Amino acid sequence: MENKYRLPNLILPNYYSITIEPDLNNEKFNGYETISLTIKETTNSIKLNSIGLTISKAKILGLQLESVDILEDQEHETISINFNQDLTPGDYELELFFLGNLDNSLRGFYLSRYTDDNGIEHKIGTTQFESTDARRAFPCFDEPEFKSIFSITLKVPKGLFTVSNTGIKNITKTDSHDIYEFKDSIKMSTYLVAFVIGPFEATEEVIVDGVPLRIVHAIGKSHLTDFAIETGKFALEYFSDYFGRPYPGDKLDMIAIPDFASGAMENLGCITYREALLLVNEDEATQSELTRIADVVMHEIAHMWFGDLVTMKWWNGIWLNEAFATFMATKAVDKFNKKWERWVQFGLEKSAAFDVDSLHSTRPIEYEVISPDDASAMFDLLTYEKGGAVLRMLEQYVGEEKFRDGIRHYLNKHEFANTETEDLWRSIESYSSIPVRETMNSWILQAGYPRINFEIKNESVKISQSVFKYDNEDKGGIWKIPIEIKLSDNGEIKTKKILLEDKEIQINIANSKFITGNCNSNGFYRSNYSKTFLSNIDEDHLSKLNKSDTNSHKSIK
């Protein structure tokens, strides 16, 4: 069945040249753009996304062919630009003039305000395009798969700080305005385009492996930027090494926005943050506050590779972007400050996902996305916490080096392109001894999670699975479960990895003492042990993660 929220795949954008002129005082903007297109089949109509904009003029350059009408479909957030002659397959340039309002909706190109220490109110023009709100700022092919190169020009009132995804190519000064021309971006999706205009200032550049890094903030808050610089520098170095390839942009600005709906947004080279999640007085902050900021910074910078360089084809795959960034952020913060014991905290945080996933109203991690509202609904605990925990489980079973090699292969193979979830599983599987695709599909395509029962009898352990629900109603379901058990063999601690593919399996553990069935609490399942076994646990052989798991995520029969 045709999805009317989707654009036909018959016209492909290659290059956007966009000029935006904001009028902050009157809370509006006007724009002009040229989109270089490839038309694959003969047509007399070009359909693209737009909502809340007034299109004043549209024509095909070169042919000097003006549109005969522009029809808007508000329900599906599209416009159809119609011509009185056919456009045969080939390359064209579509020119558009448009007008829009700067409102306080916190999406699209919107107006933000803040009051300084002197009680003076300031206005900011800023953007938030994920998931489907670039169409509120300029007409575009606003789907992740329609990647393109973007050339942004901003004509702004004099004296306002101006920033976008890339470095500045040229500034032209007039009596009333400054015209900022930015360098071409990499090939990327519309939801990653960003620009910010307002009374800001920036820290001095810190060069990290050749990449200029700055913190952009409201005037007078430079004393709150040191920790952001420290974490940003660490993240750039860590991820460049982990992914085995340099940062994909030409610079990185991290911008503190006073009025911002999300925690942060991974616009390539122009990451926007809620002010409280970037600026901090490190001497006065709690460890929890610092950890939270470090988490967010690492999460967004991880996206520069996983999400920006390589992007999902459609919004059903957004879970993988967010789950992977959550997983990688936890990994990076654990390296950044070992004293914070970040993986122990993560073990506790995923309890919230356990709670949601124990309800009959839960959903699979990945599901069909039809409308923009469906895409917005993906941003929840199951996407972030459960998704991140499932990736951690896979990494620990496959092995950290093999998992990393699979990630590097995936990024190299699909750079500047779009992927389906299974593309990642194939890359990791090529470095693994287990069927990664089949294993992971059992976790992401069905709702809920299993309870694993461990029965220890003499020289063997029987491992079986069932569905865990708070009402104990088991309606079936089976997972391929990576399990790592911990054993003691004459005082020597060993681990054994098992892939439970059926309802149950029996493992011989002759001459060994069973310690735990969820080593380091890496598995996304509840462990069920007998009361007798629990009463005889030697806690000296349990990690902090296992103690948390034993105390908080067991069901005792």
Contact 186, 311 (CB under 8 A): no
Options 300, 322, 366, 429, the catalytic residue: 300
254-268 residues labelled b (16+ CB within 10 A) or e (exposed): bbbbbebebebbbbb
- Does residue 128 contact residue 83 with C-beta atoms inside 8 Å? no
| CA 366-360-375 angle, 5° bins | 30
Q: Is 230 helix (H, G, I), strand (E, B) or coil?
A: helix
Half-sphere exposure of 101 (CA within 13 A, CB side): 5
Q: Alpha-carbon distance 543 to 557, whole Å?
A: 23
Task: Please check whether residue 275 is in contact with residue 257, taking contact to mean a CB–CB distance below 8 angstroms.
Answer: yes
> Residue 160: beta bridge partners?
none
Neighbours of 505 (CB within 10 A): 16
Distance between CA 194 and CA 192 in Å, rounded? 6
Peptide bond into 466 cis (omega under 30): no
**Using CA atoms, how far apart are residues 413 and 251, in angstroms rounded to an integer?**
24
- Please report, as a single letter, which amino acid is at residue 486: K
Burial 33-58 (b: 16+ CB within 10 A, else e): bbbbbebeeebebbbbbbbbbebeeb
Cα 494 from chain centroid? Answer: 36
Pick the closest to residue 312 from 425, 430, 423 (CA basis): 423
Residue 509, C-beta contacts closer than 8 angstroms, at least 6 positions apart: 459, 460, 461, 487, 496
Q: Please state whether beta strands 54-60 and 43-49 pair in parallel, antiparallel, or not at all (unpaired).
A: unpaired
Q: Give the DSSP letter of residue 383.
A: I
Catalytic residue list contains 438: no
Owner of token pair 């294993």: 439
Beta strands 311-312 and 418-419, pairing class: parallel
Say which amino acid occupies 63: L
Copy the structure tokens of residue 53: 């904009």
Q: Are strands 149-157 and 11-23 parallel, antiparallel or unpaired?
A: parallel
The residues near 344 (Cβ < 8 Å, ≥ 6 apart) are 544, 545, 548
The span from the CA of 93 to the CA of 276, in Å, is: 43
Active site residues: 300
